[in-house]
């Protein structure tokens, strides 16, 4: 066992990379839940985003187009959830599960001819002086653009929810859809837009795994990250900055266990690999006493009687 | 303008008809999907739904229907109890794995002894493994109010790692030339979950599934606990006033589904699968969610739905070898089925009316 082989600077830098897919998916789901909708299909939208982004990147040679395609792919899949829950008024838990099961199948069907290919890489941010700084250079200025997009998105969602009229209406719809409807807000329309935003974010998160984090396509490669993102929204009490904190915490756990595996610690690999899931459960238990942050209409079906 | 009008009572007719319509719609759109993949849609659908039942080799495939259907029905019966009460155990896959590990582990502890009591002990072990794994989300929910959906699902990934761990370590066959995986239980009479009648596909898992169906039917229709389950799902507020104990209900529903999923895993590992391997689980725990909904959470419906889903598995395998249809296409097909079912459920609870736009 050689723990000195673990470089703390690289550890923090790779922690940020590991956290980004969780963060992107969680920020999207946070907006969806703030609008009063519980979409358990995050895992399905992520994996469809992962393969859409991967396929378009390989075909076009441009990771930027790939990421765009992943957002569109995730949003398109979330439209199915829209049809089920907002048009057909189906149970949101069952519909979310359906989305995940369908997405897992669809992605492996789409990805058959992409197994074992290496995608073109997205360039990293390289600011001449700043990136070369010791320690803070690689941590703050040495990443790919999507990682910064994740952080920017967190800030944008925070500002939107806290300071804008749109955010206020969104929260009103999530807290009490009947009252919001009575005030003349289009509950269903607002929720549809929130769900599609969530789908696009989950798609981006998925593509981040297949294009940057791994980068390769394998079936079922999201391996529960979508579910961890769902747990993260609860962990964050529906607050964007706490989602960022939580994502880095989970990213940290993932990276540390991978580093320990590589360093050959005496703990068997399987036990290290299950640690992120166990820690998710542990954190859920710690935080589930306080449910005050949950939107009051979360998961309830809205049907306007005229 | 189309207006949805909530029915005072869910429509009985539509409740029975939606699964059938959903299957037909899935056949149609599945056909479109297969055509898009460059296969003859009629041939593909026929291969999936006709070939296993009435085709040339149906003598081989018909028993498979019981073998694939039994674990699906067994797990779905358990899940349906919770789903009815709004308790969402979606980690049946994990409970299935743990049942298989504990069941096989109990058996292998006696190897190579031949005794009548080994198999019953394995059954108890399997039930216990599934039960204990389901008790984790149950107790956390009762004690701390933790979301059972997320906890039970996280435990699936933990169980998969456990499976990898025991097939490489604890339960690894010492005479297996270093290959991962346990001893094969099929070649050890005391532990083998053999067919009860040769060539019928009927093994102890099928028998247990049928018993579970009868028990669930009696429980839901003739027993106070079953009434409480239905009441909690349909009118949570009324259930509170009626003095239903939610903690007891959570422990029972999750426990029962854990036991049944664990049993399914144990019967599978001792019978059709034969041994614990890294890729032992094939997603029955997740497909059973579709079975439960397709069967309208009703015991008899679940038996029929289990048959339909087993058919798509078997037919999918045939289509894969005969037509080169990718196995992922069958997964999409199964997912589609759940979509249509949930969407069509609108007709059960709402009436669709054409109305002229009212003037306010």
| Domain at B188, CATH number | 1.10.3470
Find, among B303, B330, B304, B205, the residue nearest to B261 by Cα: B205
Q: Check residue A287 and give its pLDDT.
A: 77
**Triad A296, A297, A298: Cα angle to 5°:** 95
Residues on chain A touching B328 (C-beta within 8 angstroms): 105-106, 108-109, 112, 219
pLDDT band at A29 (very low <50, low <70, confident <90, very high): very high
Q: A98 and B349 in contact by Cβ < 8 A?
A: no
The two three-digit tokens of residue B188, written as one number: 């050890």
Tens of pLDDT, residue by residue over A252-301, are 888 888 878 777 777 788 888 888 889 888 888 887 766 667 787 787 78
Top residue of A38, A41, A45, A94 to mutate, by most chain B CBs within 10 Å, is A94
Above 80 in pLDDT, residue A104? yes
Q: Is B241 near chain A, with CB under 8 Å? A: no
- The CA distance from A195 to B170, in Å, is 46
pLDDT band at B98 (very low <50, low <70, confident <90, very high): very high
Q: Check residue A2 and give its pLDDT.
A: 58
Please state the rounded mean pLDDT for residues B179-190: 78
The two three-digit tokens of residue A276, written as one number: 């992120």
Top residue of A102, A271, A279 to mutate, by most chain B CBs within 10 Å, is A102
Q: Check residue B47 and give its pLDDT.
A: 85
Torsion angle, alpha carbons of B347, B45, B92, B229, to 10? 30
pLDDT band at A205 (very low <50, low <70, confident <90, very high): very high
Could you tell me which residue, B304 or B172, shows the higher pLDDT?
B304
Residues on chain B touching A108 (C-beta within 8 angstroms): 328, 331
Residues on chain A touching B153 (C-beta within 8 angstroms): 224, 227
Q: A90 and B345 in contact by Cβ < 8 A?
A: yes
Could you tell me which residue, B182 or B359, shows the higher pLDDT?
B182
Superfamily of A3-119+139-287 according to CATH: ABC transporter involved in vitamin B12 uptake, BtuC (1.10.3470.10)
Burial label, A169 (beta-carbon count in 10 A; 0-12, 13-18, 19+): middle
Flag the least confident range among A60-64, A124-128, A190-194, A214-218. A124-128
Chain Cα centroid distance, residue B2: 37
Q: Check residue B76 and give its pLDDT.
A: 94
Q: Check residue A74 and give its pLDDT.
A: 92
Q: A277 and B289 in contact by Cβ < 8 A?
A: no
Q: Check residue A126 and give its pLDDT.
A: 66
Please state the rounded mean pLDDT for residues B35-55: 84
Residues on chain A touching B4 (C-beta within 8 angstroms): 89, 303
Q: What percent of chain B has pLDDT over 90?
A: 24
- Please say whether the beta carbons of B111 and B182 come within 8 A: no
Tell me the residues of chain B between 299 and 328 that have a Cβ less than 8 Å away from chain A: 326, 328
Q: Check residue A31 and give its pLDDT.
A: 92
Above 80 in pLDDT, residue B354? no
Looking at the complex, report in whole angstroms how far the Cα of residue A109 sits from the nearest Cα belonging to chain B: 5
Q: B165 and A270 in contact by Cβ < 8 A?
A: yes
Q: What percent of chain A has pLDDT over 70?
A: 90
Q: Check residue B260 and give its pLDDT.
A: 95
Residue B56 lies in domain: 38-325
Above 80 in pLDDT, residue B196? no
Residues on chain A touching B334 (C-beta within 8 angstroms): 101, 105
Count interface pairs A-B at CB distance under 8 A.
Answer: 133
Top residue of B19, B26, B30, B158 to mutate, by most chain A CBs within 10 Å, is B158
Looking at the complex, report in whole angstroms how far the Cα of residue A99 sits from the nearest Cα belonging to chain B: 8
Tens of pLDDT, residue by residue over A113-165, are 888 788 777 777 666 666 667 666 666 766 788 888 888 999 999 999 889 98
Please state the rounded mean pLDDT for residues B154-158: 91
Q: Is B145 near chain A, with CB under 8 Å? A: yes
The pTM for the full model equals: 0.88
Q: Check residue A129 and give its pLDDT.
A: 67
- Please say whether the beta carbons of B109 and B276 come within 8 A: no
ipTM metric: 0.84
Q: B293 and A94 in contact by Cβ < 8 A?
A: yes
- The CA distance from B197 to A240, in Å, is 61
Q: Check residue A3 and give its pLDDT.
A: 61
pLDDT band at A77 (very low <50, low <70, confident <90, very high): very high
- The CA distance from A65 to A125, in Å, is 18
- Please say whether the beta carbons of B92 and B84 come within 8 A: no
* Greatest mean pLDDT among A43-57, A172-186, B47-61, B341-355: A43-57
Tens of pLDDT, residue by residue over B29-38, are 888 888 888 8
Find, among A40, A42, A50, A25, the residue nearest to A107 by Cα: A50
Of B147, B156, B339, the CB nearest to A102: B339
Burial label, A5 (beta-carbon count in 10 A; 0-12, 13-18, 19+): exposed
Please state the rounded mean pLDDT for residues B14-31: 86
Looking at the complex, report in whole angstroms how far the Cα of residue B267 sits from the nearest Cα belonging to chain A: 25
Q: B334 and A84 in contact by Cβ < 8 A?
A: no
Q: Is residue B187 part of a domain?
A: yes
Find, among A147, A132, A201, the residue nearest to A17 by Cα: A147
* Greatest mean pLDDT among A270-279, B53-62, B98-107, B350-359: B98-107
Peptide bond into B112 cis (omega under 30): yes
Of A89, A109, A227, the CB nearest to B150: A227
- Tally of structural domains, chain B: 1
Q: Is residue B349 part of a domain?
A: no
Q: Is B237 near chain A, with CB under 8 Å? A: no
Average pLDDT, chain A: 84
Q: Is residue B236 part of a domain?
A: yes
Looking at the complex, report in whole angstroms how far the Cα of residue B19 sits from the nearest Cα belonging to chain A: 15
Q: 3-class secondary structure for B80-92?
A: HHHHHCCCCCCCH
Q: Check residue A5 and give its pLDDT.
A: 62
Please state the rounded mean pLDDT for residues A206-222: 85
Could you tell me which residue, B281 or A195, shows the higher pLDDT?
A195
Q: What percent of chain B has pLDDT over 70?
A: 98
Q: Is B236 near chain A, with CB under 8 Å? A: no
Q: A93 and B329 in contact by Cβ < 8 A?
A: no
Above 90 in pLDDT, residue B114? no
Top residue of B89, B335, B347, B357 to mutate, by most chain A CBs within 10 Å, is B335
Place of tokens 């028993």: B63
Average pLDDT, chain B: 86
Of B145, B161, B350, the CB nearest to A89: B350
Q: A303 and B289 in contact by Cβ < 8 A?
A: no
Looking at the complex, report in whole angstroms how far the Cα of residue B151 sits from the nearest Cα belonging to chain A: 6
pLDDT band at B146 (very low <50, low <70, confident <90, very high): confident
Chain Cα centroid distance, residue A248: 13
Read off the DSSP letter of residue B172: -
Q: B290 and A101 in contact by Cβ < 8 A?
A: yes
Q: Is residue B136 part of a domain?
A: yes
Domain boundaries, chain A: 3-119+139-287
The two three-digit tokens of residue B294, written as one number: 């397709």
Q: A281 and B149 in contact by Cβ < 8 A?
A: no
Q: Check residue A132 and give its pLDDT.
A: 67
Please state the rounded mean pLDDT for residues A214-229: 85
For A110, nearest residue in chain B (alpha carbons): B328
Please state the rounded mean pLDDT for residues A185-208: 90
Top residue of B146, B237, B327, B355 to mutate, by most chain A CBs within 10 Å, is B146
pLDDT band at A306 (very low <50, low <70, confident <90, very high): low
Residues on chain A touching B36 (C-beta within 8 angstroms): none
pLDDT band at A4 (very low <50, low <70, confident <90, very high): low
Q: Is residue B298 part of a domain?
A: yes
Q: Check residue B358 and give its pLDDT.
A: 56
Tell me the residues of chain B between 71 and 130 that have a Cβ less than 8 Å away from chain A: 88, 90
Q: Is residue B13 part of a domain?
A: no
Tell me the residues of chain B between 165 and 224 that have a Cβ less than 8 Å away from chain A: 165, 168-169
Read off the DSSP letter of residue B282: -
Residues on chain B touching A277 (C-beta within 8 angstroms): 154-155, 157-158
Residues on chain B touching A303 (C-beta within 8 angstroms): 4, 6
């Amino acid at each position: 066992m050689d723990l000195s082989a673990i470089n703390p600077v690289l550890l923090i830098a790779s922690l940020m990379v590991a956290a980004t897919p969780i963060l992107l998916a969680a920020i999207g789901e946070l907006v969806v839940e703030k609008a009063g909708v519980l979409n358990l299909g995050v895992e399905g939208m992520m994996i469809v985003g992962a393969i859409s982004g991967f396929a378009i990147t390989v075909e076009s040679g441009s990771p930027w187009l790939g990421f765009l395609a992943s957002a569109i792919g995730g949003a398109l899949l979330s439209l199915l959830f829209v049809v089920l829950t907002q048009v057909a008024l189906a149970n949101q838990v069952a519909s979310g599960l359906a989305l995940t099961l369908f997405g897992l199948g669809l992605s492996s069907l789409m990805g058959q001819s992409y197994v074992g290919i290496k995608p073109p890489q997205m360039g990293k941010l390289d600011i001449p002086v700043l990136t070369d700084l010791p320690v803070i250079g690689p941590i703050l200025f040495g990443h790919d653009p999507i990682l910064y997009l994740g952080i920017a998105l967190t800030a944008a969602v925070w500002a939107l929810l806290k300071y804008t009229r749109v955010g206020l209406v969104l929260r009103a719809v999530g807290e009490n859809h009947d009252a919001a409807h009575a005030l003349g807000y289009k509950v269903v329309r607002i929720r549809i837009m929130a769900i599609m935003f969530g789908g696009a974010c989950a798609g981006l998160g998925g593509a981040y795994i297949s294009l940057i984090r791994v980068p390769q396509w394998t079936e079922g490669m999201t391996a529960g990250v979508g579910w961890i993102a769902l747990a993260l929204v609860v962990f964050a009490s529906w607050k964007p900055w706490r989602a960022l904190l939580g994502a880095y915490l989970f990213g940290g756990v993932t990276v540390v266990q991978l580093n320990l595996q590589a360093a050959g610690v005496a703990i068997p690999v399987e036990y290290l690999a299950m640690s992120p899931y166990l820690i998710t459960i542990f954190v859920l238990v710690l935080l589930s006493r306080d449910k005050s942050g949950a939107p009051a209409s979360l998961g309830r079906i809205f049907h306007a009687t005229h | 303008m189309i207006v949805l009008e909530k029915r005072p009572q869910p429509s009985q007719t539509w409740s029975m008809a939606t699964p059938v319509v959903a299957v037909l719609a899935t056949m149609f759109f599945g056909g479109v999907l297969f055509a898009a993949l460059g296969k003859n849609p009629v041939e593909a659908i026929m291969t999936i739904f006709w070939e296993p039942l009435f085709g040339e080799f149906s003598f081989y495939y018909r028993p498979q229907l019981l073998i694939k259907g039994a674990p699906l029905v067994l797990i779905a019966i358990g899940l349906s109890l919770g789903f009815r009460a709004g308790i969402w155990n979606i980690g049946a896959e994990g409970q299935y794995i743990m049942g298989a590990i504990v069941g096989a582990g109990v058996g292998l502890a006696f190897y190579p002894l031949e005794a009548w009591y080994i198999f019953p002990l394995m059954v108890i072990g399997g039930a216990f493994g599934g039960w204990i794994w389901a008790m984790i989300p149950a107790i956390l929910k009762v004690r701390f109010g933790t979301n059972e959906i997320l906890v039970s699902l996280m435990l699936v990934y933990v169980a998969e790692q456990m499976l990898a761990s025991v097939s490489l370590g604890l339960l690894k066959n010492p005479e297996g030339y270093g290959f991962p995986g346990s001893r094969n239980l099929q070649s050890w009479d005391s532990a083998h979950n053999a067919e009860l009648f040769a060539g019928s596909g009927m093994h102890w898992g099928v028998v247990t599934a049928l018993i579970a169906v009868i028990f669930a039917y009696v429980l839901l229709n003739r027993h106070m606990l079953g009434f409480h389950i239905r009441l909690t799902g349909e009118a949570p507020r009324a259930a509170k006033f009626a003095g239903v104990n939610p903690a007891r209900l959570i422990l029972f529903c999750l426990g029962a589904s854990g036991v049944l999923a664990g049993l399914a895993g144990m019967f599978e590992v001792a019978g059709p699968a034969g041994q614990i391997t890294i890729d032992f689980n094939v997603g029955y725990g997740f497909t059973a969610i579709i079975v439960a909904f397709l069967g309208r959470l009703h015991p008899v419906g679940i038996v029929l739905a289990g048959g339909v889903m087993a058919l798509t598995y078997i037919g999918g395998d045939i289509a894969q070898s005969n037509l080169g249809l990718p196995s992922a296409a069958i997964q999409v097909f199964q997912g589609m089925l759940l979509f249509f079912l949930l969407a069509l459920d609108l007709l059960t609870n709402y009436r669709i009316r054409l109305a002229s736009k009212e003037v306010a």
